[in-house]
Amino acid sequence: MKEILLIGGGGHCKSVIDVIEQEGQFKIIGIIDKAELLGSDVLGYSVIGVDSDLKDLSKKYSYALVTIGQIKSSKLRKGLFDLAKKTGFTLPSIISPRAYISKNAIIGNGVVVMHDVLINANALIGDNCIINSKALIEHDTKIFEHCHISTNATINGGVVIESGCFIGSGAVIRDSISIKKNSFIKAGSLIK
């Protein structure tokens, strides 16, 4: 089993741990977080380092994943993704065994696809995205890098979501709409 480091130990990390354990492709080695959390525990996994340790850890481990959430801004997730790549880590995509992804969809690097997600034909998900529980991504949709599509969001066919966007829980994006870079769509919104 391949070994992986998780970067960020908050609530989103806990959800990702559950998906990694169910997926069964990676063994979690530890978590990277703030210095004051060193030695603490997240669902049985120890915080073993801080961001500045990534360069040294990349000599021992090949895989890492950004496991902090994203609400107001993608800046921190993007910065950690870029740092992990720069230090030599491979950032795999983690896909829940309870998700459905069309064989004709494309999923980038470092993407997390949570439980009960449906990603339909010809959809494109860019690097370092979170596709959260029960989200529906319809055909021909393009979601660029560093986006968070929240729980139970519905992204209809032909939508383009530019990089760094947050789409809140239960939001519905009508077909063929474009969402501009770094947009924040609040929970329950209807974008038509």
DSSP 16-37: HHHHHHHH-SEEEEEEE--GGG
At the top level of CATH, which class does the domain 2-86 belong to?
A: alpha beta
Domain with CATH 2.160.10.10 in the chain: 93-187
* Residue 174 CA: distances (Å) to CA of 37, 161, 192: 42, 12, 5
Model pLDDT, residue 90:
98
Per-residue pLDDT tens over the stretch 118-167:
999 999 999 999 999 999 999 999 999 999 999 999 999 999 999 999 99
Q: Is the pLDDT of residue 71 over 90?
A: no
* Nearest C-alpha neighbor of 60 from the set 39, 36, 38, 30: 30
Model pLDDT, residue 136:
98
pLDDT, mean of residues 174-190:
97
Q: Is the pLDDT of residue 84 over 90?
A: yes
Model pLDDT, residue 122:
98
Given pLDDT bands bounded at 50, 70 and 90, which one contains residue 72?
confident
Q: Which residue has the tokens 């992986």?
A: 4
| Whether the Cβ atoms of residue 88 and residue 105 lie closer than 8 Å to each other | no
- DSSP conformation class of 51: G
Which three-class secondary structure state does DSSP give residue 142? strand
| Whether the Cβ atoms of residue 64 and residue 84 lie closer than 8 Å to each other | yes
Model pLDDT, residue 41:
94
What is the distance between the alpha carbons of residues 171 and 38, in angstroms, rounded to a whole number?
37
Q: Is the pLDDT of residue 80 over 90?
A: yes
Q: Is the pLDDT of residue 17 over 90?
A: yes
Mean model confidence pLDDT for the chain: 97
The torsion of the CA quartet 92, 10, 35, 52, rounded to 10 degrees, works out to 20
Per-residue pLDDT tens over the stretch 47-68:
999 999 999 999 999 999 999 9
Model pLDDT, residue 43:
97
Residue range 93-187 in CATH 2.40.50.100? no
Q: Which pTM does this prediction carry? A: 0.96
- DSSP conformation class of 85: H
Cβ count within 10 A of residue 108: 16
| Whether the Cβ atoms of residue 166 and residue 182 lie closer than 8 Å to each other | no
| Whether the Cβ atoms of residue 17 and residue 45 lie closer than 8 Å to each other | yes
Domain with CATH 3.40.50.20 in the chain: 2-86
